Each structure stands twice: as C-alpha cells, then as structure tokens.
C-alpha cells in the first residue's frame, strides 16, 4: 500500500490562516509585523525563495522589505545592512538569505542580527536557548516539520528518529527538537558507516542530505514516517523521470525537475507516510518564518 501523503502545503495554509487575526490585531495597535530581508547576489534559488516569502507576507498583511546587495559585496557592506535593520522599529524580523557569497563572513553577519529579531533562529543565542529547551525562535524548516508531525498526529515520544544531515540550518536543530519531544535520536552524515542499516532503525526518518534520490527503499523500515527536506534541481532526464515518473510533462516543459533527497517511488511502497517534493516541507518553512515574525512583533510591542 502506498504511503500516506503528508501535505505540507495544506498545513502551511492552516498556519497562515491562524496567524491572520494576530496580524490584524497587531496592525490595529500600530505594530504591523514587518520583515526585513537581505539578499546578496543573484543566486536563482535564493531569488525565487525570497520572492515566495515576499508574496506570503503580502497575503498575510505583513510588511516586507528586501535590501539587495551585489554578489561582490563585502562583509562590511552586508553587516551595515543588518545593522540598519536592527535599528528600525518597524522591522520586527530579519532574514539573511543564505548562502552568502564566499567572501562574506557568514558567522559574523548572523551574529550581528538582533536575537529578538532573528526569526530564522540562526543567532548563537537562539541556538543556545534551543539546546536548553527554552527557545525564542527556532530554525523554520525543523519547526515546520514538527508542526507537520503534530498536525498529522504522528507520535514522537518514545520513538526512534534518524536525521540524515547535520547542517546548522536543518540537521542539528531538527535533532534537538525531536530530542525535546522525547524521541531517541541518531544523526547521520557523510562519515556514517552502514547508513542504510542505521536509517532502517528509524520510526521517523528525516532526509536532509542534499542529494537527489539518495535515500531509497533499502534505507526505510516498513511503516516508517519519512520527511523529505531535499530540494534538488535535476536536469538529467533519466534521473528526473526515475525520481518523479508522473511529472514527465513538467520536465519536458521546464527542462528540469525539483526533487527531494528521497527516492519517492520506492520509498512510498515501504513507508507509512511520506512528505512530497514539492509541496511538503518547503511551504512549511515559509509559514514558520511568518509565525516567527508575528511572534517577534508581538514581543516587541509588549516591550
């Protein structure tokens, strides 16, 4: 039997609808939530992502402003843009779109963001608060995944969870959130031996490895819940159609497909539930960014 589809887009719509009254109330009190976005360079994926976030803000009534800097911008120029957003009372949340160009010191830039406006949850202070289980803001993708599990009533406590990937953006905070929800957590990475065997221990498997179709049926325990975080552009026709055979027309039209880290056709026959790509984790990331921005505005309004 094919796996149940974990519809992240539907959950994201529900989250946004729940936020609307809060946005209206804050605006009525003169504290309309505002998001300041910093985009450096013209990376196509980042540009599309920022555009999606801007549209989502407009739909919800959140003020959104994007500062664009050239790809050759220095660390000092990027830092100055962050400092300017920090100083503005009408900007409640700051998003530094990653990745930054190589010449920019990403750690220094993220450390400059006011922790009270760090709606991406990347500042060292907010990461530390998450470790201590007293979070202010949590990285949006892992937070969105926890919402997906909660709203689909997938139990976490007492279950084995495996996170494939150890990035600061997804893997590490994901592991902490699952741990705080009383799962027993294993984090895998490029040096993990016998990856498939480790993955097969999981009741909940989170794929955030960054390689198209890397996790296949042999990585999945029968009945496991699989969450696919990957977003990979595949231009090879054979691989694209192997991973998403039902999207052949889309490939012919675009010349590429966006696919996940999971080999969906094979995994869907083994897992009990699977998040799709697209339409799974991506919309949730944006929804949680909006939720964090609204929370930041409310907190700053309270003083």
- Catalytic hit among 114, 118, 120, 261: 120
Active site residue 221: no
**120 carries an active-site annotation:** yes
pLDDT tens, 259-285? 999 999 999 999 999 999 999 999 999
Rounded (10°) CA dihedral 55, 57, 63, 67: -60
Nearest to 98, CA basis, from 37, 184, 148, 28: 37
48 vs 154, residue with greater confidence: 154
For the chain, give the percent of residues with pLDDT over 70.
Answer: 100
Q: Give me the mean pLDDT over the 233-242 stretch.
A: 95
pTM, whole model, 2 decimals? 0.95
- Which of 53, 117, 172, 221 is the catalytic position? 53
The set of residues, in sequence order, having a beta carbon less than 8 Å from that of 59 and lying 6+ positions away, is: 16
189 pLDDT above the threshold of 70: yes
Domains of the chain listed by start with CATH number: 31-117 (3.40.50.10860), 140-282 (3.40.50.720)
How many residues are listed for the chain in this entry? 303
Does residue 175 carry a pLDDT above 90?
Answer: yes
**Whole-angstrom Cα distance, residue 99 to residue 13?**
27
At residue 45, the pLDDT reads: 78
Confidence band of 303 (pLDDT split at 50, 70, 90): confident
Establish whether 43 is a catalytic residue.
Answer: no
Contact 205, 178 (CB under 8 A): no
Residue 113's pLDDT band, with cuts at 50, 70 and 90, is very high
Q: State the pLDDT at residue 2.
A: 86
**How confident is the model over 11-21, as pLDDT tens digits?**
999 999 999 99
Work out the average pLDDT over 152-167: 98
Query: In degrees rounded to 5, what are phi and psi of residue 125?
Result: -65, -45
- Convert 49-76 to b/e letters by CB count within 10 Å (16 or more is b): bbeebbebbeebebbbeeeebeeebebe
CA distance 231 to 228: 9
Average pLDDT of every residue of the chain: 96
């Amino acid at each position: 039997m094919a796996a149940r589809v974990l519809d992240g887009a539907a959950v994201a719509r529900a989250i946004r609808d729940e936020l609307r009254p809060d946005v209206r109330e804050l605006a009525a009190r003169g504290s309309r939530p505002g998001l300041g976005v910093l985009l450096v360079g013209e990376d196509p994926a980042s540009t599309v992502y920022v555009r999606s976030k801007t549209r989502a803000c407009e739909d919800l009534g959140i003020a959104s402003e994007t500062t664009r800097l050239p790809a050759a911008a220095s660390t000092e120029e990027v830092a100055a843009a962050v400092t300017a957003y920090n100083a503005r009372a009408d900007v409640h949340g700051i998003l530094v779109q990653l990745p930054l160009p190589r010449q920019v010191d990403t750690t220094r830039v993220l450390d400059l963001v006011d922790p009270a406006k760090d709606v991406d949850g990347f500042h060292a202070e907010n990461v530390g608060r998450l470790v201590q289980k007293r979070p202010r803001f949590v990285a949006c993708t892992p937070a969105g995944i926890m919402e997906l599990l909660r709203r689909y009533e997938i139990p976490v406590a007492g279950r084995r969870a495996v996170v494939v990937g150890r990035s600061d953006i997804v893997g590490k905070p994901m592991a902490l959130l699952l741990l705080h929800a009383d799962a027993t957590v294993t984090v895998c990475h490029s040096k993990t031996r016998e990856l498939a065997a480790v993955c097969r221990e999981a009741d909940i498997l989170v794929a955030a490895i960054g390689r198209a179709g890397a996790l296949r049926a042999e990585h999945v325990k029968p009945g496991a819940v699989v969450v696919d975080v990957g977003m990979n552009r595949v231009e090879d026709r054979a691989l694209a159609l192997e991973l998403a055979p039902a999207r052949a027309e889309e490939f012919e039209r675009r010349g590429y497909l966006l696919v996940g880290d999971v080999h969906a056709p094979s995994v869907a026959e083994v897992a009990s539930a699977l998040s799709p790509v697209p339409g799974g984790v991506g919309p949730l990331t944006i929804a949680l960014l909006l939720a964090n921005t609204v929370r930041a505005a409310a907190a700053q309004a309270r003083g």
